[in-house]
Structure 1
Amino acid sequence: MRTRLRRLRVDGREFTWKADIRHVPGSGDCHRGIRVRAWGAGKNGRALEADLLSASWPAPWGACATDGVYPTPADVRRIILYALEHGWDPDLRGGTFHLTEAEHAAAFRLPAFLITDRLRDPDAPDPTRRVVEVWSRSL
């Protein structure tokens, strides 16, 4: 299946983005993860990458099997704006600017997602614990 690239205008500038569905293993379940990548200066510009963790809980047959959450263009706009405010320069050539859990999770959250490092680092904090904490606070 071919990846779909989407376009989004933010503050008069056009960005290209994509979101790939992944699975994030946790101690209590498998969770839906989404890797969002965005570019603001073509394929040679510095990419933005944010690994998102679905905040949906509980799932009757496992979150990996039944969770259908996917980032909206409004979510991606918020990611881009946050990254621009926190040091992402899409005009730089090459490389990737990562929104990491360790650096950004306390300050940035989307309604349906948390930032996770678990997609890149299997030793990152347990996603099940974080999802359950967020879900418990929303009750």
Structure 2
Amino acid sequence: MEVAQMRARLRQIHIDGHTFTWRAALHSVQVNGFYRRAVYVRAWGSGGKNGQKLEADLLSTPGPYVVDNGYPTPADVRAVIICGLKSGWRPEQRGGTFVLSDREHGADFAASGFQLADPVPPGESADTTHEAQQRG
């Protein structure tokens, strides 16, 4: 499988008076025989990289193949951060990583065009709870 990646740069977003730093990297994964756009999102709170990191792997909503390579919008990143905070992410805590996954947090995640995935290393196939439910 060919993996397309984009150089990740640090960006900032402000939510409820707090500043979060984030980055995202694009790639594609094969899900049930189809290629889908995937985005690795990483975020930190005001403690920077010394604080607890938030990780979320997003998949584009189901479709027959990857049709775009756009970067996630601020609204998408906001959805990741808010879901993380509501799920127990503590950005002020020193060290560690809080991982959002489809299996544990998918029902609480809402972003247009994306769904949470269980962590998928680039080049490997993915299977998500949403698709498992769709297959019946």
TM-score, normalised to structure 2's length?
A: 0.80
Q: Is it true that 1:80 corresponds to 2:49 in the alignment?
A: no
Displacement after TM superposition at 1:118 (Å)? 4.8
1:27 to 29, 32, 57: 32
Displacement after TM superposition at 1:81 (Å)? 1.4
Does 114-123 or 41-50 show the bigger shift? 114-123
Alignment partner of 2:50: what SS?
Answer: coil
Displacement after TM superposition at 1:99 (Å)? 0.5
Q: Is it true that 1:55 corresponds to 2:56 in the alignment?
A: no
Displacement after TM superposition at 1:67 (Å)? 2.2
Displacement after TM superposition at 1:32 (Å)? 0.9
Gaps of 5+ in 2: 1-5
Displacement after TM superposition at 1:111 (Å)? 1.2
Q: Is the 8 A contact 1:51 1:115 kept in 2?
A: yes
Q: Is the 8 A contact 2:83 2:108 kept in 1?
A: no
Q: Identity, % of aligned pairs? A: 46
Does 81-90 or 66-75 show the bigger shift? 66-75
Displacement after TM superposition at 1:70 (Å)? 3.0
Q: Is it true that 1:46 corresponds to 2:52 in the alignment?
A: yes
Q: Is the 8 A contact 2:31 2:127 kept in 1?
A: no
- In structure 2, how many angstroms separate the alpha carbons of the residues matched to 1:118 and 1:2? 19
Kindly provide the CA deviation profile for residues 62-118 of structure 1, in whole angstroms up to 9, marking residues without a partner as x.
Answer: 41xx32343111111121112111100001111110011110112213110010115
Given the superposition, is the C-alpha separation of residues 69 and 35 from structure 1 closer, same or farther in structure 2, using an over 3 Å criterion? same
2:20 to 2, 15, 26: 15
Gaps of 5+ in 1: 134-139
Structure 1 segments, 4+ long, off by >6 Å, are none
- In structure 1, how many angstroms separate the alpha carbons of the residues matched to 2:118 and 2:30? 12
CA RMSD of aligned residues (A): 2.5
